[in-house]
Amino acid sequence: MEKILNLITAAPAMATDDYVGFTFFVGCMAMMAASAFFFLSMNSFDNKWRTSILVSGLITFIAAVHYWYMRDYWATNATSPTFFRYVDWVLTVPLMCVEFYLILKAAGATKAMMWRLIFLSVVMLVTGYFGEAVFTTGSGPALWGLISGIAYFVIVYDIWMGGAAKLAASAGGAVQSAHKTLCKFVLIGWAIYPIGYMAGTEGWYSGIFGGLPMDVIYNIGDAINKIGFGLVVYNLAVNSK
């Protein structure tokens, strides 16, 4: 019993001037609220959109759980929870790619397209982790960051000009509009992650942003991208009633 009680510990106190920890806390609460909203709204739509809304809720819920843990990690160690952040991304970013398949499924999207996007997203994340946490000296961060960036731009090409874009154009209407908005999130919103990567890894690029903590960049980017993705899908479901 004593061992069990020792595992149940209160969350470490957060200093009032700890703005990095504050972004972890706010990000957690915002994404948990978004999850509740998406899950509770599922039954308002027909089966065509329920899976998309469910995935939106899963994305923000997974992120919220990780953010709660990362907030505690930061409060305890005052260091970036890089490993746990990438665990979060490896689970949530492929799900964000799945959203493209789900909204374009009626227009003829194939599982091959979905798995291609998932594969590219995993390559982007794994190589990014190598550069940020494993091969952190010499040219390591730049090399692995380059590979990660190539995978990212292939995703951008696929959804903006590749098969996904053609399917969205054939669907037209609300589906095409939602697809374009999600594409903007990937092109503009996801670009915040390379900025955080450069700000947090050693090399000529680490001084560009004046020492701005990468966790702040990542936390803001996560909240905007993950909640925003879900709201776009939710709006599509509403407009398609």
Q: Are 152 and 131 in contact (CB under 8 A)?
A: no
Confidence at residue 217, expressed as pLDDT on a 0 to 100 scale: 82
- CB proximity list for 198: less than 8 A, separation 6 or greater: 145, 205, 206, 208, 209
Q: Are 60 and 38 in contact (CB under 8 A)?
A: yes
CB burial class (10 A; 0-12, 13-18, 19+) of residue 7?
exposed
Confidence at residue 207, expressed as pLDDT on a 0 to 100 scale: 62
Q: Is the dihedral of CA 198, 203, 204, 209 positive or negative?
A: positive
SS3 state at 212 = coil
Q: Are 175 and 103 in contact (CB under 8 A)?
A: yes
Cα→Cα distances 35→63, 64, 150, 152, Å: 10, 8, 31, 26
Q: State the Cα angle at 146 between 96 and 114, rounded to 5°.
A: 25
Determine the residue type at 30: A
Q: For 18-239, give the CATH class.
A: mainly alpha
Q: Is pLDDT of 194 > 90?
A: no
Widest Cα–Cα separation across the chain: 63
- Residue ranges per structural domain of the chain: 18-239
Segment 40-77, tens digit of pLDDT: 999 888 888 999 999 999 999 999 999 999 999 998 88
More confident residue, 118 or 16: 118
CA-derived radius of gyration, the chain? 19
Q: Is pLDDT of 230 > 90?
A: yes
What is the 8-class DSSP label of residue 17? T
Segment 123-136, tens digit of pLDDT: 999 999 998 888 87
Confidence of residue 157 (pLDDT cuts 50, 70, 90): very high
Its pTM stands at 0.89
Task: Count how many residues are written for the chain.
Answer: 241
Q: Is pLDDT of 26 > 60?
A: yes
